[in-house]
Amino acid sequence: MLETIRYTGQRAFEEGLTGIEIMGEVSPNSPPNELNYLAFEEFCWHPTRSMDDFVETRLGRFYGGRELARRYVSAVSSDEKEPQVLIRRYGEAQSGEGSAPHR
């Protein structure tokens, strides 16, 4: 979803639109929803930023630093369905282990 939001912000800017409206919004009180709201805000104000820029300059402040933010984005963007892999990744994120975000 994050890449779709980034692309949409970029395309709106390229087409000269002055904003984006979304419908069916849900509460930002859940972390994945909050992440989407942060992405909409970031890419509407800064449509030429990359996903890496977003993670480094914005999300790192909210999620405990750049590396933890990358792990979080990787986890919520993953299409992994294997329960044991998800459990392992969750444990690594909790303990700060692992050398790189998983895709």
Check residue 42 and give its pLDDT.
92
How long is the chain?
A: 103
Is 96 within 8 Å of 69 (Cβ atoms)? no
> Residue ranges per domain, the chain?
2-95
Q: Is 8 left (phi over 0), alpha (psi -120 to 50) or beta?
A: alpha
| 3-state SS, residue 60 | helix
Distance separating alpha carbons of residues 13 and 83, to the nearest angstrom: 40
Structure pTM? 0.69
Task: Tell me the per-residue pLDDT of 9-68, one tens digit each, with 9 for 90 and over.
Answer: 899 999 998 878 877 667 767 777 888 889 988 998 999 999 999 999 899 998 888 988
Following CA atoms 34, 32, 77, 70 in sequence, which dihedral angle do they give, to the nearest 10 degrees? Answer: 60
Check residue 28 and give its pLDDT.
62
